[in-house]
Amino acid sequence: MGWIRSFYRSTIGKKVVMAVTGLVGVGFVCGHLLGNLLVFKGPEAINAWGELLKSNTALLWTVRVSMLAVLTLHVSAAYSLTMLNRRARPADYDRQVRQSSTLSALTLRVGGVILLAFIVFHLLHFTTGTVHPAFSPTDVYGNMVIGFGSVAVVGFYLLAMASLGLHLHHGLWSFFQTMGWNHPHLNPARRRLAMFLAIVVGAGFAVIPLAVAFGLVQ
């Protein structure tokens, strides 16, 4: 256990933890997206999916606890790296010259905070129903239609999904760099893969509240 602790305390260890937990998170959101898109097949399809998940309590709680651990490690590593960077440069430069970078890299920290707030709200909204106006433990379809009846809620979801897309784009590209899987001939394909998944996942989640807002799902 000592070497694991030492590895995590190192900068590269924290980066590897961020990369691996981020990849696990990508797998989870992709699976979550596929389930959510069943809303377009109607109430029976998505409600049956929700009932299937709830019927296997052991699996459901295993996934929940695992994702909580993954999220905790990811956020903890991100915060630690931020603090290490600040301690390494306690005073700002007299003049800063912005290097070439992507929008996803520039908005990474702000987007991460937005996503963290969104996760808390999302759980209170659709999992516990604490902030849902008319939550039903069995009617997933109805929860979505009613839950996205607020313009403010739809706006927040869209902001969060834009942040998710940017976060995925930077995270997937950084994963290859952190793991040392860089190669000039393969990097363009990896950039396209990161862009593709970021757009598909972000837009896939965003289309659901938009469909409710425009009356396509009602």
The domain made up of 2-91+101-213 has a fold known as 3 helical TM bundles of succinate and fumarate reductases (1.20.1300)
Q: What is the pLDDT of residues 115-126, one digit of tens each?
A: 999 999 999 999
Q: According to the model, what pLDDT value does residue 100 have?
A: 46
Report the chain's mean pLDDT, rounded to a whole number. Answer: 88
pLDDT at 7 over 90: no
Mean pLDDT value across residues 77-106: 68
Q: What is the pLDDT of residues 154-202, one digit of tens each?
A: 999 999 999 999 999 888 888 888 777 777 777 888 888 889 999 999 9
Per-position DSSP letters for 100-153, written without gaps between them: S--HHHHTHHHHHHHHHHHHHHHIIIIIS-TT-TT--SS-HHHHHHHHTT-HHH
Confidence label for 95 from pLDDT (cuts 50, 70 and 90) = low
Using a CB cutoff of 8 Å and minimum separation of 24, what contacts does 134-141 make?
138/47, 138/50, 138/51, 139/43, 139/47, 140/39, 140/46, 140/47, 140/49, 140/50, 141/39, 141/42, 141/43, 141/46, 141/47
Q: Which two tokens stand for residue 51?
A: 């009932």
Where are the chain's structural domains? 2-91+101-213
Q: According to the model, what pLDDT value does residue 118 have?
A: 96
Q: Taking CA 12 as the corner, what is the angle to CA 188 and CA 168, rounded to the nearest 5 degrees?
A: 40
Structure pTM? 0.85
